Structure 1
Amino acid sequence: MSISAQAVDVVYGRPAAGVQVRLQRRISDLGRELDDWLTVDETETDSDGCIKDWTAERFGRGPYQIVFDSDAYFAMLGLSAAYKEISVVVRLADESDSCQIQVRLAPYSYSMDFGFRG
């Protein structure tokens, strides 16, 4: 199981380097999912706008949340965003699952592509 992510800045038409990103796993209790999330890793996108470190890790089954800090990214560029964060929640169900997430950022909108290979 693997998760990879990429952020693209559509204002400037380039990879969104330096976006802070959190990977979180949903906390469960006796097989029941709770509403709380445990942060597994925090990093930032590289010069290609990618998170490559996660692809080598092995993840257990269950729901994961990837949180992109769009507010801090646009503040770094001297712009303000209409939203603080972008959250994407995915479920890994099988050992062979692999998901790729791409988020395209603008100060007042975003779009997301999700690729899943199982």
Structure 2
Amino acid sequence: MSQSPITTHILDTSRGRPAAGVHVTLEYLTEHGKASVLGHGLTDADGRLRTLLSGDERPQVGTYRLTFDTGAYFSALGVEAFYPSVSIVFLLRAPEEHHHVPLLLNPFGYSTYRGS
């Protein structure tokens, strides 16, 4: 099986290491604001989640949302954090391309970008 066409990777910049064991949900958002869950899972020891969709699936053009359960991650570390979850909404315009959406995370901030 090949890699999911949508993947993510979380780096905990406060610890200088990948964020393992973070629950992530991938949803498709309709024009009317309804969300349908397409996939979910936990990041691996390298902070990556490569199985949100099967490698044979091709997403459709549209709006997607990745939601990261950052509150549970930091709580398990015994760290107080400001954001209980992080949601990244993005537009997918080229379904034939791989879409990698990394998250750089710390207890009081985050950033993201379109990766490769």
Name structure 2 gaps, 5 residues minimum.
none
1:104 CA displacement: 1.1
The answer to whether residue 4 in structure 2 is matched with residue 4 in structure 1 is no
Deviation at 1:97, TM superposition (A): 2.8
Gaps of 5+ in 1: 28-32
What is the distance in 2 between the residues matched to 1:69 and 1:61?
26
Q: Matched residue pairs, number?
A: 111
Higher strand share: 1
**Equivalents in 1 of 2:25, 2:52: separation in Å?**
11
| Percentage of matched positions with identical amino acids | 33
TM-score normalized with structure 1 length: 0.84
Q: Is the counterpart of residue 78 in structure 1 residue 81 in structure 2?
A: no
User: CA RMSD of the aligned region, Å?
Assistant: 1.7
DSSP 3-state at the match of 2:33: strand
Larger deviation, residues 38-47 vs 14-23: 38-47
Q: Which runs of 4+ in 1 moved over 3 A?
A: none
Q: Which residue of 2 aligns with 1:35?
A: 33
Partner of 1:63: 63
Letter of the structure 2 residue corresponding to residue 6 of structure 1: H
Q: CA deviation at 1:95?
A: 3.3
Q: Which residue of 1 aligns with 2:45?
A: 47
How far is 1:4 from its partner? 1.0
